[in-house]
Amino acid sequence: MKICYRSTKHEKLVSNKRKLMQKYWDINTEAILSSIGELISADSLSHIPLAIRPHALQGVNSLIFTVDIKHPYRLLFVPIWEYDNSNPITTIKEVEIVELSINTHDNKFNASNYI
């Protein structure tokens, strides 16, 4: 898939492992880079390994997709092009990463900040 970043800050972090480790610790750094690698190497979201659980958030947040990083943290992304709502997993071929590591179950999480 084609990947872009909403924030140049995130793009710079991903390209500099040392800075990424300073911000997200050793354990999350490897998981973040691995998840991004899985997204890049896949043809569509349907080719992502089920082990990292690619899925859309529920309800009003259904435009935001996530993959697991390390519980409870997730990588958040949104599709760039129109996709078929009946089966979005197979039609998403280009995504914009909006957050590298966030706990979507935290009470402070507000999905409207990412749409």
Give the domain CATH number at 63: 3.30.2310.20
pTM of the full structure? 0.81
In a domain, 115, yes or no: no
Do residues 75 and 32 lie in contact, with contact meaning Cβ atoms separated by under 8 Å?
Answer: yes
In a domain, 91, yes or no: yes
DSSP codes, 99-110: EEEEETTSTT--
The pLDDT value given to residue 115: 64
- Tell me: the pLDDT tens digits for 37-59? 999 999 988 898 888 888 888 87
Q: Which residue has the tokens 């435009």?
A: 63
The 3-state DSSP class for residue 8 equals helix
Taking only the tens place, the pLDDT of each residue in 46-96 is 898 888 888 888 877 777 888 988 888 889 998 887 666 677 678 888 999
Q: Which of 76, 85, 62, 77 is nearest to 106 (CA)?
A: 76
Does residue 97 surpass a pLDDT of 90?
yes
* Separation of first and last alpha carbons in the chain: 20
- Identify the domain containing residue 26 by its residue range: 2-108
Torsions phi, psi for 102 (to 5 deg): -145, 150
Chain mean pLDDT for the chain: 84
In this prediction, what percent of the chain has a pLDDT beyond 70?
88
